[in-house]
Amino acid sequence: MRVLLVEDDEMIGASLRDALGTQGWSVDWVRDGLLAQSALADGDYACVLLDLGLPKRDGVEVLRRAREGKDATPIVVLTARDGLEDRIGGLDLGADDYLLKPYEFRELLARMRAVIRRRDGSAHSVIGAPGLQLDLTTREVVVEGERSQLSAREFALLHALLERPGAILSREQLENRIYGWGEEVSSNAVDVLIHGMRRKLGPDAIRNVRGLGWRVAPSAAGARAE
Ligand code: CA
Protein backbone atom coordinates (compact mmCIF):
# COMPACT_ATOMS: atom_id res chain seq x y z
CA MET A 1 0.00 0.00 0.00
CA ARG A 2 1.10 3.54 -0.57
CA VAL A 3 1.80 6.03 2.16
CA LEU A 4 2.62 9.71 1.74
CA LEU A 5 5.36 10.74 4.13
CA VAL A 6 5.59 14.50 4.76
CA GLU A 7 8.75 15.25 6.72
CA ASP A 8 11.39 17.93 6.24
CA ASP A 9 13.97 16.39 8.58
CA GLU A 10 16.29 14.34 6.36
CA MET A 11 17.33 11.88 9.04
CA ILE A 12 13.85 11.23 10.40
CA GLY A 13 12.43 11.02 6.90
CA ALA A 14 15.05 8.62 5.59
CA SER A 15 14.81 6.28 8.54
CA LEU A 16 11.01 6.27 8.38
CA ARG A 17 11.03 5.65 4.65
CA ASP A 18 13.42 2.72 5.06
CA ALA A 19 11.57 1.25 8.03
CA LEU A 20 8.21 1.48 6.24
CA GLY A 21 9.78 -0.05 3.15
CA THR A 22 10.82 -3.13 5.09
CA GLN A 23 7.18 -3.48 6.14
CA GLY A 24 6.09 -3.57 2.52
CA TRP A 25 4.86 0.00 2.22
CA SER A 26 5.48 2.00 -0.93
CA VAL A 27 6.59 5.36 0.43
CA ASP A 28 6.32 8.69 -1.39
CA TRP A 29 8.34 11.19 0.61
CA VAL A 30 7.94 14.97 0.29
CA ARG A 31 9.77 17.58 2.33
CA ASP A 32 7.51 20.63 2.28
CA GLY A 33 3.87 21.55 2.65
CA LEU A 34 3.25 22.62 -0.94
CA LEU A 35 4.56 19.35 -2.35
CA ALA A 36 2.48 17.51 0.23
CA GLN A 37 -0.61 19.25 -1.06
CA SER A 38 0.00 18.44 -4.70
CA ALA A 39 0.92 14.84 -3.88
CA LEU A 40 -2.33 14.49 -1.93
CA ALA A 41 -4.30 15.91 -4.83
CA ASP A 42 -2.76 13.46 -7.32
CA GLY A 43 -2.13 10.35 -5.30
CA ASP A 44 -4.25 7.59 -3.96
CA TYR A 45 -2.80 6.97 -0.53
CA ALA A 46 -3.87 4.52 2.12
CA CYS A 47 -2.50 6.90 4.71
CA VAL A 48 -0.55 10.14 5.20
CA LEU A 49 2.11 10.71 7.85
CA LEU A 50 2.25 14.46 8.37
CA ASP A 51 4.82 16.51 10.21
CA LEU A 52 3.50 19.92 11.33
CA GLY A 53 6.59 22.12 11.22
CA LEU A 54 7.22 22.25 7.47
CA PRO A 55 8.77 24.71 5.00
CA LYS A 56 6.58 26.61 2.52
CA ARG A 57 3.29 25.53 4.04
CA ASP A 58 2.67 24.50 7.61
CA GLY A 59 1.35 20.99 8.24
CA VAL A 60 -1.71 22.39 10.01
CA GLU A 61 -2.54 24.32 6.85
CA VAL A 62 -2.02 21.23 4.68
CA LEU A 63 -4.41 19.36 6.94
CA ARG A 64 -7.00 22.12 6.92
CA ARG A 65 -6.99 22.43 3.14
CA ALA A 66 -7.15 18.69 2.61
CA ARG A 67 -10.25 18.40 4.77
CA GLU A 68 -11.86 21.50 3.30
CA GLY A 69 -11.32 19.89 -0.09
CA LYS A 70 -13.16 16.79 1.16
CA ASP A 71 -10.04 14.67 1.01
CA ALA A 72 -10.78 11.80 3.40
CA THR A 73 -7.36 10.13 3.27
CA PRO A 74 -6.43 9.01 6.80
CA ILE A 75 -3.85 11.40 8.23
CA VAL A 76 -1.61 10.66 11.20
CA VAL A 77 0.13 13.75 12.51
CA LEU A 78 3.69 13.16 13.67
CA THR A 79 5.15 16.06 15.52
CA ALA A 80 7.43 17.25 18.24
CA ARG A 81 4.99 19.96 19.18
CA ASP A 82 3.62 18.76 22.42
CA GLY A 83 1.44 21.72 23.25
CA LEU A 84 -2.11 20.76 24.06
CA GLU A 85 -3.40 23.51 21.78
CA ASP A 86 -1.65 22.03 18.75
CA ARG A 87 -2.95 18.61 19.52
CA ILE A 88 -6.55 19.70 19.94
CA GLY A 89 -6.23 21.97 16.90
CA GLY A 90 -4.94 19.13 14.73
CA LEU A 91 -7.70 16.75 15.75
CA ASP A 92 -10.33 19.44 15.26
CA LEU A 93 -9.04 20.03 11.76
CA GLY A 94 -9.53 16.39 10.91
CA ALA A 95 -6.35 14.51 11.77
CA ASP A 96 -7.23 10.87 12.37
CA ASP A 97 -4.56 10.38 14.96
CA TYR A 98 -1.67 12.09 16.60
CA LEU A 99 1.74 10.76 17.58
CA LEU A 100 4.37 12.76 19.41
CA LYS A 101 8.05 12.40 18.55
CA PRO A 102 9.83 10.36 19.65
CA TYR A 103 7.57 7.36 19.22
CA GLU A 104 7.96 3.63 18.85
CA PHE A 105 7.88 2.50 15.23
CA ARG A 106 5.64 -0.42 16.14
CA GLU A 107 3.14 1.97 17.65
CA LEU A 108 3.16 4.03 14.46
CA LEU A 109 2.41 0.90 12.41
CA ALA A 110 -0.45 -0.03 14.73
CA ARG A 111 -1.93 3.45 14.48
CA MET A 112 -1.65 3.45 10.71
CA ARG A 113 -3.56 0.18 10.60
CA ALA A 114 -6.17 1.59 12.96
CA VAL A 115 -6.87 4.76 10.96
CA ILE A 116 -7.06 2.77 7.71
CA ARG A 117 -9.52 0.35 9.31
CA ARG A 118 -11.64 3.22 10.53
CA ARG A 119 -11.70 4.73 7.07
CA ASP A 120 -12.82 1.32 5.79
CA GLY A 121 -15.74 1.63 8.21
CA SER A 122 -14.67 -1.35 10.19
CA ALA A 123 -13.75 -1.49 13.85
CA HIS A 124 -12.39 -4.94 13.17
CA SER A 125 -9.16 -5.85 11.52
CA VAL A 126 -10.91 -8.01 8.93
CA ILE A 127 -12.62 -6.65 5.81
CA GLY A 128 -14.37 -8.38 2.92
CA ALA A 129 -17.16 -10.89 2.75
CA PRO A 130 -17.57 -14.27 4.46
CA GLY A 131 -16.09 -16.22 1.52
CA LEU A 132 -13.18 -13.85 0.97
CA GLN A 133 -11.71 -11.87 3.82
CA LEU A 134 -8.60 -9.85 4.35
CA ASP A 135 -6.95 -9.66 7.75
CA LEU A 136 -5.41 -6.18 7.94
CA THR A 137 -3.22 -7.01 10.90
CA THR A 138 -1.57 -10.18 9.64
CA ARG A 139 -1.92 -9.46 5.89
CA GLU A 140 -3.46 -12.85 5.41
CA VAL A 141 -6.29 -13.64 3.09
CA VAL A 142 -8.98 -15.99 4.36
CA VAL A 143 -10.73 -17.98 1.65
CA GLU A 144 -13.53 -20.20 2.97
CA GLY A 145 -11.75 -20.34 6.31
CA GLU A 146 -8.32 -21.13 4.83
CA ARG A 147 -5.62 -18.59 5.61
CA SER A 148 -2.69 -17.75 3.39
CA GLN A 149 -0.08 -15.04 3.50
CA LEU A 150 -0.04 -12.26 0.91
CA SER A 151 2.95 -10.29 -0.29
CA ALA A 152 2.85 -6.54 0.34
CA ARG A 153 1.72 -5.87 -3.23
CA GLU A 154 -0.87 -8.61 -3.25
CA PHE A 155 -2.20 -7.20 0.00
CA ALA A 156 -2.39 -3.66 -1.42
CA LEU A 157 -4.22 -4.89 -4.49
CA LEU A 158 -6.77 -6.96 -2.64
CA HIS A 159 -7.29 -4.22 -0.08
CA ALA A 160 -8.14 -1.81 -2.89
CA LEU A 161 -10.62 -4.25 -4.44
CA LEU A 162 -12.30 -5.11 -1.15
CA GLU A 163 -12.88 -1.51 -0.08
CA ARG A 164 -15.90 -1.40 -2.32
CA PRO A 165 -16.63 -5.03 -3.16
CA GLY A 166 -17.98 -5.40 -6.66
CA ALA A 167 -16.65 -2.03 -7.87
CA ILE A 168 -14.40 -2.18 -10.94
CA LEU A 169 -10.92 -0.73 -10.57
CA SER A 170 -8.87 0.13 -13.65
CA ARG A 171 -5.27 -0.86 -14.21
CA GLU A 172 -4.22 2.71 -13.47
CA GLN A 173 -6.22 2.85 -10.25
CA LEU A 174 -4.68 -0.40 -9.07
CA GLU A 175 -1.16 0.70 -10.02
CA ASN A 176 -1.68 3.93 -8.09
CA ARG A 177 -2.60 1.95 -5.03
CA ILE A 178 0.29 -0.49 -5.23
CA TYR A 179 3.33 1.35 -6.48
CA GLY A 180 5.12 4.48 -5.29
CA TRP A 181 6.87 7.16 -7.32
CA GLY A 182 9.84 6.09 -9.33
CA GLU A 183 9.03 2.41 -9.03
CA GLU A 184 9.42 0.59 -12.31
CA VAL A 185 6.00 -0.77 -13.22
CA SER A 186 5.94 -3.07 -16.22
CA SER A 187 2.86 -2.86 -18.43
CA ASN A 188 1.63 -6.27 -17.29
CA ALA A 189 2.59 -5.97 -13.61
CA VAL A 190 -1.01 -6.03 -12.43
CA ASP A 191 -1.83 -9.05 -14.61
CA VAL A 192 1.15 -10.96 -13.23
CA LEU A 193 0.17 -10.09 -9.67
CA ILE A 194 -3.43 -11.18 -10.15
CA HIS A 195 -2.37 -14.34 -11.94
CA GLY A 196 -0.30 -15.28 -8.90
CA MET A 197 -3.08 -14.37 -6.49
CA ARG A 198 -5.57 -16.67 -8.17
CA ARG A 199 -3.56 -19.58 -6.82
CA LYS A 200 -4.30 -18.37 -3.30
CA LEU A 201 -7.82 -17.04 -3.82
CA GLY A 202 -9.19 -19.48 -6.34
CA PRO A 203 -9.46 -18.91 -10.08
CA ASP A 204 -12.67 -16.85 -9.98
CA ALA A 205 -12.19 -14.59 -6.97
CA ILE A 206 -10.86 -11.65 -8.99
CA ARG A 207 -12.64 -11.15 -12.29
CA ASN A 208 -11.36 -9.26 -15.25
CA VAL A 209 -13.90 -6.96 -16.85
CA ARG A 210 -12.67 -6.57 -20.38
CA GLY A 211 -11.39 -3.10 -21.18
CA LEU A 212 -12.36 -1.72 -17.76
CA GLY A 213 -10.34 -3.46 -15.10
CA TRP A 214 -10.88 -5.91 -12.29
CA ARG A 215 -13.25 -6.51 -9.46
CA VAL A 216 -13.88 -9.00 -6.73
CA ALA A 217 -16.26 -11.65 -8.02
CA PRO A 218 -19.89 -10.76 -7.32
CA SER A 219 -20.43 -14.05 -5.48
CA ALA A 220 -17.80 -13.12 -2.93
CA ALA A 221 -18.73 -9.44 -2.93
CA GLY A 222 -22.45 -9.97 -2.73
CA ALA A 223 -22.31 -12.28 0.24
CA ARG A 224 -22.04 -9.26 2.51
CA ALA A 225 -25.30 -7.78 1.31
CA GLU A 226 -27.31 -10.98 1.38
CA1 CA B 1 9.59 19.49 10.74
How far is ligand 1, taken at its centre, from the CA of residue 211, in Å? 44
How far is ligand 1, taken at its centre, from the CA of residue 83, in Å? 15
pLDDT of 219 reads 63
DSSP letters for the chain? -EEEEE---HHHHHHHHHHHHHTT-EEEEE-SHHHHHHHHHH---SEEEE-SS-SSS-HHHHHHHHHHTT----EEEEES---HHHHHHHHHTT-SEEEESS--HHHHHHHHHHHHHHHTT-SSSEEEETTEEEETTTTEEEETTEEEE--HHHHHHHHHHHHSTT--B-HHHHHHHH--TT----TTHHHHHHHHHHHHH-TTSEEEETTTEEEE-HHHHHTTT-
pLDDT of 94 reads 84
pLDDT at residue 223 greater than cutoff 70: no
pLDDT of 163 reads 82
Q: Out of 5-9, 36-40, 108-112, 175-179, pick the least confident.
A: 175-179
Give tens-digit pLDDT for 57-108.
999 899 999 999 888 899 999 887 666 566 667 677 788 998 888 889 999 9
Starting at the edge strand that comes first in sequence, how are the strands of the sheet with 140-143 ordered?
126-129, 132-135, 140-143, 146-149
Give tens-digit pLDDT for 159-178.
999 887 788 999 999 998 88
How far is ligand 1, taken at its centre, from the CA of residue 156, in Å? 29
What is the average pLDDT score of the chain?
87
pLDDT of 83 reads 62
How far is ligand 1, taken at its centre, from the CA of residue 70, in Å? 25
Confidence of residue 34 (pLDDT cuts 50, 70, 90): very high
How far is ligand 1, taken at its centre, from the CA of residue 25, in Å? 22
How far is ligand 1, taken at its centre, from the CA of residue 147, in Å? 41
pLDDT of 87 reads 65
How far is ligand 1, taken at its centre, from the CA of residue 81, in Å? 10
How far is ligand 1, taken at its centre, from the CA of residue 89, in Å? 17
pLDDT of 203 reads 87
How far is ligand 1, taken at its centre, from the CA of residue 160, in Å? 31
Highest mean pLDDT: which range of 31-35, 65-69, 149-153, 212-216: 31-35
pLDDT at residue 225 greater than cutoff 50: no
How far is ligand 1, taken at its centre, from the CA of residue 103, in Å? 15
Confidence of residue 226 (pLDDT cuts 50, 70, 90): very low
How far is ligand 1, taken at its centre, from the CA of residue 3, in Å? 18
How far is ligand 1, taken at its centre, from the CA of residue 8, in Å? 5
How far is ligand 1, taken at its centre, from the CA of residue 196, in Å? 41
How far is ligand 1, taken at its centre, from the CA of residue 31, in Å? 9
